[in-house]
Homo-oligomer: A and B are copies of this chain.
């Protein structure tokens, strides 16, 4: 039994009668002691601030699920934004900036009646802060085991919410401090619901930090650089002030990191994306149907075989890490959304037969976002293509039309065609909207289940 299991065993199996009376007496004493100090502290003005936020949060929209108090809305929206691992990625750092930042910005904007244009600006600023903090600790921080979306994400959420709520500079530094000292998330949680909870927590924590700072609750204003701050404690092996120092409030915009933030075209491991791009390009150009295929030959970056070599995966989840499945589904459906990674699709005989025809050869000279693919057909033709930069990489951003396809494939089954189109229109015209409420009213319509 491992150490965590042993603790769980102790918690569950220790009989109450086996706990000695002196230990239970000590338990009473600790209770009396903290009741005393808690009562004595309960009138402090900082408690007023903390209690007020938790009790009188405004109502905010929960995507697909109606409305709730704003802290909860931020938590759930951050969670669902990251759950499929299908959100955006800041390529230089593997930060997913939107899942923590957008929910905090949107909830604050709903409370505040902020205009659409200012809401977009707050996200842009919050996203920039998150990416800059991420750059300041990458790669040491992630390599050490931190889930950077959980830890650094809170800075983005706090920054965006602070901007929406109109905090001054001093309050904003407090908000960053409160977010930065409440920034958890280790990679051991990958593969569990705990991973997406990191993004949800970061969204909630950043919104809370900005709200508390606005009410006079104090936080550490040297959270990055302090002797016991974020850099020293969460990235002791490597951090770099330069990405932060390069920010200058008077002349912003020399560069914006959102340009290095890619949208994922496929809901699976990123190293297989060039292969899917190539198969879909050939399929569409030559109207290839599965039954006519005799082979799919690919020269790939070695990571594809290292991370995603599963010839016949048996579940949808493992299919996401099978380059063979990704290529086969891309040929049959021309896509790689959640629908292509259901358990049923993993067991589909047509896809299984195609998977067996995929041959990938590693070539270390290729880029990670590069591939060469040849599809051999029953009529003897061999159709080849070369993808230099996969869709969604900084060098080849997903076109707007492709994003609309992805949106439609995911949103329409939930909202129906009319509402899904109205929501898309509301997002594209957000800079013209008086506030975000119409957008969020559509996004939070309860799904029919």
Contact = CB atoms under 8 A, between A and B. Distances in A.
A191 B174 CA distance: 13
Contacts of A23: 124, 253, 256, 258-259
11 contacts: A7-B244, A8-B173, A18-B253, A27-B124, A32-B428, A40-B411, A47-B76, A50-B75, A50-B193, A177-B194, A186-B234
DSSP class of A's interface residues: helix, strand, loop or mixed? helix
A321 to B, nearest CB: 18
Interface string A53-79: 011000000111100110010011101
A132 B6 CA distance: 12
B163 A12 contact: yes
B168 A12 contact: yes
Contacts of A188: 177, 181, 220, 222-223, 226-230, 232-233
Interface string A384-408: 0000000000000010100110110
A14 B252 CA distance: 6
Oligomeric state, in number of copies?
2
Given A220-B188, A261-B30, A3 B102 contact: no
Given A186-B230, A424-B32, A248 B81 contact: no
A99 B407 CA distance: 46
Nearest to A405: B36
A126 B247 CA distance: 45
A218 B234 contact: no
A236 interface: yes
